[in-house]
Structure 1
């Protein structure tokens, strides 16, 4: 049975999904035993004593991320090697068995406190695959172990904004394959941290499909319900660290939510995308990568294509053996933040007058697009699938970016749009795009004009917009 357009527009985000989407840009911190072995995946046989950062300073990690414009940090509390960055009561393979801080250290505690002190949210990554734990592969026993560790993280470290599960699932040391009890884990999270989103192998946020920073031209948040289980299927999970799995880009998955997808689907869900990518070629720190850190220009392009492409950006920033973010990474992130603030702090369209070809009533007046508020919006009457807006900036203004934001509390509706600017009483094409979603950043060469036109040429039922922003890069 096909999903109708009317049914599709009724699919909307939950409050927790909406709060997560508004975070936009946050950090991954890959730090652990692999930092000291030079490996991306440990085998679980590492000696905890090698974990010994010499200039450990998590406040520096948080400051680096905050200055970059990030809103939160997710820590790899336990990676596939099973080494825990907190003194878990359920294993000795943790910081308590290291000589660092005389076995009294707790990276999870320190980073959670540093985040709170600087106003960033804190999240946890807990690998379901554990290559050290002997019960792995004995499904009931290991699931109990995993849930106990999850409970520790969710009860001892304050508010958690995200629990991040990946889908890696290889054999245990006993040669058995673990069958994860995801549903019990989800119930535990909802009980202990009801506002936390569950990402990737979870019901709230989906993986974009690669770790190469690739974004679809049309990144739908309304997708077939079957996608919720995509990353949980053991046969399709990552089992070896061969450097290719995360870089795969499958053209067949480019279309996740168009009308042709609706025609084949039985039900749709709100399942928005997150892009996870590292500032370096690898996830854990390797000194050989010190000259391969993403440049400021690359970071700007990544930010605008992901956050500005209806996704969230999870950027990995790995501390080194000292326990510090390397100077190159910190400098580039600081300069990224400076550029973002200089470019997007001042909306040239704020307070501008707006003309609309169709407006239903005053509660959804087109003037809401430039009022600087996120709780107001414009929309025409139902059935008006095409609409036109003209923004009057009041005087000729130079700009090179337009930011559109759909009012996703009413679903995702816009399917295609065009932008133009007026010069000598002629409308000159500026940009053409497909979906908008939470945020669409449209960038182009600098133009100067007083009037900017938006035409919505395709939409579902009727389009909505909460914001039309105009900016100029510095």
Structure 2
């Protein structure tokens, strides 16, 4: 056996003990809990954090005042002489919107870009003597200002003679889809629906289309009744279910199937796919601009916001350009009013001035999962986690103010959905009195208290049922001065 010199032996021993202690100390740091599948993708998380995105229905219907064109419209009628896509983008930015989706082609088949596969497009319009491209101008204006873009290409085409011939039309549609996905840069969302001519035996090759979309743009989100990235909420009123899971079974979904609208609206706690819902609604009565219409009142738009974003969804708000090619000033003002109202409501969080405690916390006091995490600026990756005990059914987190100084009528709860949606049921108490209760939370749950403004010192949120450990990333107590319970009926 080789003997080490005494000094070298001591040095080696000290290094060994230091390494062992370091390993031991690292071993005592609590780890995050295991995620609960299915999980959102990076693109889905980014999409959900947008909260409000804009739809722009624009085309020949704008000039005929139809909602659904026949396909026999003369392209010459399309002539938006004052078209200014920069004005569209400015309106979106002023409203805090970071993604805009344009109807590149609606059911009438008229294309807002010069497609080489049809002459039913801007190429045969009077606008810019047939040399214009609305899609290009839209994309250029948005990307110059840092706003993301998406496109809608209607599967139903009432103009194209190949429609009804399954193979030929699917090839035609796929060719136009390739044009949009390869000629206009990076898109963040592509929008599909299942409308079709009920008198023709038409089949859409969605599987092939979706595969091509992902091949050409891998980070894009595909919207349809069945995803695969974003699902329809099941109505065009902007209303999600009071229970709304981002999870659902994609094998139970089919595009254009009216019988699944209720399932789309609620989702499924046992869902095998993470497929959050998008709530589409228009700022006016119609999807296209009509001279006789005006935008919804601010109170109605706020109600829609609470029933969509406030129920774990993203709001897709349609704002249609007029025949001049501009968003109407009345609509632009209403959008700005909505943004100002939301800023007024949510810019102040009364909970930030409170002391906070919880029923328990993972890893103990210094474990990194304490209740104080719900009051920081990270609403996704920092969170409160209770202890991991099978018999711990009553998890709660409590905000304590001073001398009844908490006066609010909105409670905001957010989950750390990056580790899976978990909360099944929760209750809210103020000074021991229950003021609200609900089921799912997800990315964001907003309770606009039915009894109006409450005042108290202690607010406790109880998680009474969840899938595994509930992980709460953010809590807010807000005062909504626009909320008058007697004026607005919340479904």
Q: Matches of residues 305-316 of structure 1 in structure 2 within 5 Å?
A: 305-316=307-318
Q: Which runs of 5+ in 2 are unaligned?
A: 1-33, 482-491
Question: Counterpart of 1:49?
Answer: 76
- Counterpart selection for 2:370 from 346, 355, 365: 365
Alpha-carbon distance, 1:398 to partner: 2.5
Structure-1 separation of matches of 2:309 and 2:420: 18
* Structure 1 residues 327-375: Cα deviation after superposition (integer angstroms, max 9, x where no partner): 2212211111111112212333337432111211213222111111132
Partner of 1:268: 272
1:403–1:439 Cα contact (<8 Å) kept: yes
1:197 pairs with one of 201, 221, 224: 221
- How far apart, in 1, do the equivalents of 2:247 and 2:400 lie? 33
1:28-67 → structure 2 map (5 Å cutoff): 28-67=55-94
Q: 1:313 to 1:434 in 2, by over 3 A?
A: same
Summarize the Cα distance change of 1:431–1:225 in structure 2 as closer, same or farther, 3 Å threshold: same
- Please tell me whether the aligned partners of residues 113 and 122 of structure 2 are also in contact (alpha carbons under 8 angstroms): yes
CA distance in 1, matches of 2:91, 2:376: 32
Aligned to 1:442: 447
Deviation at 1:45, TM superposition (A): 1.1
Cα distance per residue 1:229-272 (max 9 Å; x no partner): 32255xx59xxxxxxxxxxx9668765425xxx4xxxx621111
Q: Secondary structure at the match of 2:55?
A: strand
Matches within 5 A, 1:27-426: 27-170=54-197, 176-201=200-225, 202-227=227-252, 229-233=253-257, 236=258, 255-258=266-269, 262=270, 268-290=272-294, 293-350=295-352, 352-361=354-363, 362-373=367-378, 374-382=380-388, 383=390, 384-393=392-401, 396-422=405-431
> TM-score by structure 1 length?
0.87
Residue of structure 2 equivalent to 1:456: 463
Distance 1:13 1:351, change over 3 A: farther
SS of residue in 1 equivalent to 2:179: helix
CA shift for structure 1 position 180: 1.3
Give distance in 2, aligned partners of 1:90 and 1:225: 33
SS class of match (1:135)? coil
Q: Are residues 72 and 393 of structure 1, via their aligned partners in 2, closer, same or farther at CA, if it must alter by over 3 Å? A: farther
Q: Deviations over 1:179-214 (max 9, x none)?
A: 211122112211222111100143111111111233
Name 1:246's counterpart in structure 2: none
Moved more, 204-213 or 60-69: 60-69
1:412-459 Cα deviation digits (max 9, x unpaired): 11111111222xxxx222211111011001122223334311111111
Question: Greater CA deviation, 349-358 or 93-102?
Answer: 349-358
Structure possessing the higher radius of gyration over alpha carbons: 2
Equivalent residue for 1:428, pick from 414, 433, 450 = 433
Contact 2:233 2:261 in 1 (8 A): no
Q: Which moved more, 1:392-401 or 1:28-37?
A: 392-401
CA RMSD of aligned residues (A): 2.2
Structure 1: 5+ residue runs without aligned partners? 1-6, 238-248
Question: Structure 2 vs 1, CA of residues 358 and 330 (structure 1 numbering), >3 Å: closer, same or farther?
Answer: same
Aligned residue in 2 for 1:245 = none
Q: 1:200 to 1:341 in 2, by over 3 A?
A: same
Match of 1:240 in 2: none
Give the CA deviation at 1:8.
10
Alignment deviations for residues 160-193 of structure 1 (CA, whole Å, 9 cap, x no partner): 110000110116xxx6433211122112211222
Write the distance in 1 (CA, Å) between the matches of 2:289 and 2:354. 47
In structure 2, the CA distance between the partners of 1:181 and 1:165, relative to structure 1 (3 Å rule), is same
CA–CA distance in 2 between the matches of 1:314 and 1:178? 28
Give me the whole-angstrom Cα distance separating, in 2, the residues matched to 1:55 and 1:268: 48
Q: TM-score, with normalisation over the residues of structure 2? A: 0.84
CA contact (8 A) 1:38 1:285 kept: yes
- Report how far residue 394 of structure 1 moved: 5.9
